[in-house]
């Protein structure tokens, strides 16, 4: 075996082994309590959509105030802020969409996996306007200049180990803050979030680094939530809650169970079809598709993709596309076999002649998936993500893995046994 071929085989085995390890760790983490999971397990543990695991659904409506009149642009801006909050809070595949027609002021939100509608409402619907005020009540700085905010634990002796919020200002905010602290030495600068006083410290030094700490006797969860809200920015309009509810898995346990059975049956039928129609080539194809499935699942876990039913449909669709690559290549190889060519020539010509067709078909579907992701929302994006990942991994599997398996495991004498080719 040539050196390059050995390197390819070693690379495939390493990727396959690593993928299997990630898959096993991910599924094992699924049954473990969150507090016992390692950071890596928390990252790769499978996530399921609202249709498979339930969650929280509620509707918000923008309201005019004395200072702000609601416009379509303001509603879209509010949706952007909510989406950032959703991402900062680690909620995958949340649905955040504006209603149409006369209800254009309303925003529908679905949060998979959440069971506490009250906390969800507080986190998503809170205005989160951060203000720094001097003793005379003048607002000298707002969260508009906030660059970052995160949960840390205090290193100060008096508050050692307590959760606090560490914030960083942008360049303009740092300049403003330095000037304000210089002008208010030995005076108090209060920090408010939505008119709620978080802390009211005395300024002892001029702060020029554009960094500071907000402490207010927070619990760890409160500090993490406040930090996430501050990173996301303030809502541009006031939002009122129209309705809220906790929803169970919309498909029901029996439907979900049947969906899993359908997936297993589909995979078994695909594998059976390849073996029946392509014999030895089909066996090698099954091995290639097994490697493909392992890699795809591992990639989806690492991407923290949420598995709703449409997303799982994308996985099955991409599996079909991957099988299609093998079918096209094998059919071309059977044509070359009938011409009496050598094994090396059959494999080489089969892949060369089929590549253009395979590439064009996969590129067409990939472009379609990209458009779905760009214009879609929620579970529709999940379908686009799983389809795209499956197409890319399937292309690697069909072109690189399958060819390597054929080069390694097909003996030269197999050309004299057309029955092993399904001819």
Is it the case that residue 234 has pLDDT exceeding 90?
no
Residue 215 lies in a domain: yes
Residue 364 lies in a domain: yes
- Measure the CA–CA gap between 420 and 422, rounded to whole angstroms: 6
Is it the case that residue 356 has pLDDT exceeding 90?
no
Range of the domain at 282: 3-35+252-421
Same domain as 331, residue 262: yes
* Cβ neighbourhood burial of 369 (10 Å; 0-12, 13-18, 19+): buried
Please say whether the beta carbons of 114 and 56 come within 8 A: yes
- Measure the CA–CA gap between 130 and 192, rounded to whole angstroms: 6
- Measure the CA–CA gap between 44 and 40, rounded to whole angstroms: 6
Residue 211 lies in a domain: yes
Please say whether the beta carbons of 345 and 378 come within 8 A: no
Residue 47 lies in a domain: no
pLDDT tens readout for residues 155-210: 877 777 888 889 999 999 999 999 999 999 999 999 988 888 888 888 888 888 88
Is it the case that residue 343 has pLDDT exceeding 80?
yes
- Measure the CA–CA gap between 109 and 283, rounded to whole angstroms: 47
Output 84-89 pairs: Cβ under 8 A, ≥24 positions apart: 84/231, 84/232, 84/233, 85/123, 85/124, 85/228, 85/229, 85/232, 86/111, 86/124, 88/228, 88/229, 88/231, 88/232, 89/123, 89/225, 89/228
Residue 348 lies in a domain: yes
The larger pLDDT score, comparing residue 96 to residue 117, is at 96
Residue 66 per-residue DSSP state: S
Is it the case that residue 104 has pLDDT exceeding 80?
yes
Tokens of 389: 């990942």
pLDDT tens readout for residues 370-405: 888 877 766 677 788 889 999 999 999 999 999 999
Is it the case that residue 1 has pLDDT exceeding 60?
no
Same domain as 264, residue 239: no
Length of the chain, please? Answer: 423
Is it the case that residue 83 has pLDDT exceeding 90?
no
Question: Lowest-pLDDT range, 27-36, 52-61, 99-108, 129-138?
Answer: 27-36
- Measure the CA–CA gap between 414 and 343, rounded to whole angstroms: 8
């Amino acid at each position: 075996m040539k050196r390059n071929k050995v390197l390819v085989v070693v690379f495939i085995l390493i990727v396959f082994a690593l993928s299997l390890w990630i898959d096993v760790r991910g599924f094992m983490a699924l049954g473990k309590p969150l507090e016992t999971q390692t950071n890596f397990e928390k990252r790769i543990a499978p996530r399921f959509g609202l249709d498979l695991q339930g969650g929280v659904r509620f509707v918000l409506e923008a309201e005019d105030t004395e200072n702000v009149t609601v416009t379509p642009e303001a509603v879209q801006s509010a949706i952007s802020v909510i989406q950032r909050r959703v991402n900062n809070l680690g909620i995958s595949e949340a649905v955040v969409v504006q209603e149409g027609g006369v209800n254009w002021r309303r925003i529908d939100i679905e949060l998979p996996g959440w069971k506490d509608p009250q906390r969800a409402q507080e986190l998503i619907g809170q205005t989160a306007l951060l203000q720094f005020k001097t003793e005379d009540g003048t607002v000298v700085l707002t969260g508009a200049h906030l660059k970052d905010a995160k949960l840390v634990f205090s290193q100060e002796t008096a508050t050692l180990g307590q959760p606090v919020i560490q914030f960083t200002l942008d360049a303009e905010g740092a300049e403003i803050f330095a000037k304000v602290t210089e002008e208010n030495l030995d005076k108090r600068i209060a920090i408010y979030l939505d008119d709620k006083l978080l802390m009211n410290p005395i300024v002892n030094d001029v702060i020029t680094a554009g960094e500071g700490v907000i402490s207010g006797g927070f619990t760890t969860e409160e500090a993490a939530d406040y930090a996430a809200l501050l990173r996301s920015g303030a809502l541009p309009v006031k939002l009122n809650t129209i309705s809220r509810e906790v929803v169970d898995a919309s498909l029901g346990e029996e439907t979900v169970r049947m969906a899993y059975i359908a997936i297993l049956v589909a995979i078994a039928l695909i594998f059976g079809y390849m073996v029946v129609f392509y014999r030895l080539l089909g066996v090698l194809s099954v091995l290639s598709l097994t490697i493909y499935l392992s890699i795809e699942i591992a990639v989806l876990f690492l991407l923290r993709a949420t598995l709703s039913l449409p997303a799982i449909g994308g996985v099955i669709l991409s599996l079909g596309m991957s099988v299609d690559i093998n079918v096209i290549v094998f059919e071309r190889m059977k044509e070359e076999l009938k011409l009496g060519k050598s094994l090396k020539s059959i494999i080489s010509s089969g892949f060369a002649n089929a590549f253009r067709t395979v590439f064009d078909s996969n590129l067409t579907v990939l472009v379609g998936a990209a458009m779905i992701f760009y214009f879609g929302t929620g579970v529709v994006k999940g379908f686009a993500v799983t389809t795209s990942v499956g197409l890319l991994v399937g292309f690697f599997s069909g072109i690189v893995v399958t060819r390597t398996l054929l080069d390694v495991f097909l003996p030269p004498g197999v050309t004299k046994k057309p029955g092993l080719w399904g001819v």
